[in-house]
Structure 1
Amino acid sequence: MALPSVEAFERAGLKAWPGIEERWDGSWIRRAAGGYTKRANSVQCLDPDDFEDADLRVISASTWMVIRKLRPVFRITPLSSPELNATLDESGWVEIDQSHQFAMELGDHEADKEAQFLPVLDPKFVAASQKLSGYDEATVTGLKNLLAALTVPAIGVVLARDGKAVATSIMAVADGIVVTGNVVTDSTRRRQGLASAMMHSGLAWAKREGATVAALNVQADNAAAIALYRGLGYAHQYDYSYRVPGAA
């Protein structure tokens, strides 16, 4: 099967990792989620031909974010117009966090016998994710607020060993695409196949939910994660990055 287009992946991503507040300006979308992750607190363009008044729209979008006490951030994908990039160049915006979009056709996967599937706001899932991620209470509050904005089928996956959570992730299905986020593994138990077992478990759930494609984002400098996802069958689709004002 042919995998979806860049636009299809990006629109599914908007639903699977939503902003709490969103505002459209043509095909540009502004998103705010209290600062939890750049993705949910950024501006992006979904049509490379939508570039009229790019300079004024950058100022307007930046002001919108500042009013919400957020650092202005643009998410730059293959759908960003050259004029938008030129405007950011002229204004001295810098590129950070080069990343990849990976995807694959969703085949058959088997859930680990110690995998648990919990509502994303279930205290047990939130606590496991917090512990493995090392989040403070403020960050956890931001995560819960974002998860509360989800309107698509989603699950928190917890993989346990010896009764303790050793890996977690969030799986959300939008437009037939399961988007995986917040993958974290116990740092003291790396290279034990835990992340792979957790991913297979979550993908098995997604297949039952009707997903036919799996997608995720990974930073370009995360070699271990890239190796994991390639081993699962994911393949590189396109690159994206973020741009912020001034020095990174």
Structure 2
Amino acid sequence: MEFTAGGRLEVRLSPADVGKRVSVRQLTGGGPGTEKFTDTVGVLTSWDNGVLLITRRNGEHVGVPEKALVAGKVVPSAPARRRGPAAGFEELARTYARAWQPVESERLGEWTLRAASGFTRRANSALPLGDPGVGLDEALARTRAWYERRGLPAYVQTATGAPGTQEALCAELERRGWRSEVTAEVRTGALAPLADRAADDRVHLGRAVDESWLRRYQRTGTPGPQVLQVLNAGPSVWFATVPGTADEVPAAIGRCVVDGRWAGFMAVEVGPAYRRQGLATAVMAALARRALDEGASAAWLQVESDNDAAIALYAGMGFTVHHRYHHYRAP
């Protein structure tokens, strides 16, 4: 990465560049002979008390002491994605919010407070798309009070790593003691190649979740009414089931929500005894064909960043990372 002008390292940054994507180089090490250069690229989210705070694409926050800074500059936004459907962050965020609809919600300015008796953080967190209509401290206080009245922890869902995402909000939450508990990737891909995969007659599709499907679903214990309400809600919801061979628990399941041009895939699970048989792919392909029939052309899914097996599976299907989202919990 080039930092020099006429052979000299230069710092071409100032606090006025907060909010911009930057590249910085700092000198690290314990003393003479151990020094080394470390480069960091991300959004400059604050410059206070002699420390630059930079938020990387994955949401990691890096503090760079001003006195250790040897070079820095503003850099262009990440290059346009060459694979997968074109999509802005806000379009995708609103799409996957409709796929995990809460039992109750309330507006706070342009934020949405969502609750579903604790079932899935996606339906039990504030979605901060836009201006809350009050200062951030007041918005967070109202958010905490809203969840406290329902006996729930307060979460704010944020995103990083794409144009228009919320690196600055992440930094402000960190500064106020909120901590990220979960980080997940939002991946996108073309729908048709997935639908073109070989059909498997064992995959059954239905419009509503049933008791058999729930026996394989690992995200909840005994499902309450809020679980059924969240799972069955959405613009056009489909459930896939592959029957098991030895008991009443399905071999594999999946859920798909069709919403305009988008098909979202979630709850794809395969029983341990049935893995490495292509059932996850078969479930997604069957759901993809149904989504194509309804006019969808693009696909999205969410996968936690430490789920290496699922990430490898989805990458093999052509899904690439669009951005990452994080659930910040109140202190």
Higher mean displacement: 159-168 or 30-39: 159-168
Once the two structures are TM-superposed, the CA of residue 38 in structure 1 deviates from its matched residue by: 0.4
Aligned equivalents of 2:167, 2:245: Cα separation in 1: 53
Are the structure 2 counterparts of residues 130 and 37 from structure 1 closer, same or farther at C-alpha, using a change threshold of 3 Å? same
Higher relative contact order (CA 8 A, sep 6+): 1
Gaps of 5+ in 2: 1-83
CA contact (8 A) 2:144 2:330 kept: no
Partner of residue 46 from structure 1, selected from 129, 154, 169? 129
Aligned equivalents of 1:210, 1:234: Cα separation in 2: 19
Residue 266 of structure 2: aligned partner: 181
Aligned equivalents of 2:244, 2:212: Cα separation in 1: 16
Alignment of 1:220 with 2:220, yes or no, is no
The alignment partner of 1:43 has SS state of: coil
Scaled by the length of structure 2, the TM-score of the pair is: 0.67
Aligned equivalents of 2:226, 2:301: Cα separation in 1: 21
Alignment of 1:24 with 2:90, yes or no, is no
Alignment of 1:197 with 2:285, yes or no, is no
Residue 171 of structure 1: aligned partner: 256
Residue 136 of structure 1: aligned partner: 221
Larger radius of gyration: 2
CA contact (8 A) 2:132 2:139 kept: no
Structure 1: which amino acid aligns with 2:204?
Q
Once the two structures are TM-superposed, the CA of residue 4 in structure 1 deviates from its matched residue by: 1.6
Residue 90 of structure 2: aligned partner: 7
Scaled by the length of structure 1, the TM-score of the pair is: 0.88
Aligned equivalents of 1:228, 1:82: Cα separation in 2: 28
Bigger proportion of residues as helix: 1
What is the aligned length?
Answer: 240
After superposition, give the CA deviation of every residue in 1:205-239 in whole Å (9 maximum; x if it has no partner).
11111111100100000000001111111111111
Aligned equivalents of 1:45, 1:80: Cα separation in 2: 11
Structure 1: which amino acid aligns with 2:102?
G
The percent identity for this pair of structures is 25
Are the structure 2 counterparts of residues 50 and 70 from structure 1 closer, same or farther at C-alpha, using a change threshold of 3 Å? closer
Higher mean displacement: 177-186 or 49-58: 49-58
Structure 1: which amino acid aligns with 2:104?
E
Aligned equivalents of 1:132, 1:37: Cα separation in 2: 13
Aligned equivalents of 2:104, 2:242: Cα separation in 1: 32
Structure 1: which amino acid aligns with 2:228?
K
CA contact (8 A) 2:89 2:165 kept: no
Residue 65 of structure 1: aligned partner: 147
Are the structure 2 counterparts of residues 85 and 131 from structure 1 closer, same or farther at C-alpha, using a change threshold of 3 Å? closer
Gaps of 5+ in 1: none
After superposition, give the CA deviation of every residue in 1:32-53 in whole Å (9 maximum; x if it has no partner).
1111100110012123x76850
The alignment partner of 1:45 has SS state of: coil
Aligned equivalents of 1:82, 1:233: Cα separation in 2: 27
Alignment of 1:37 with 2:125, yes or no, is no
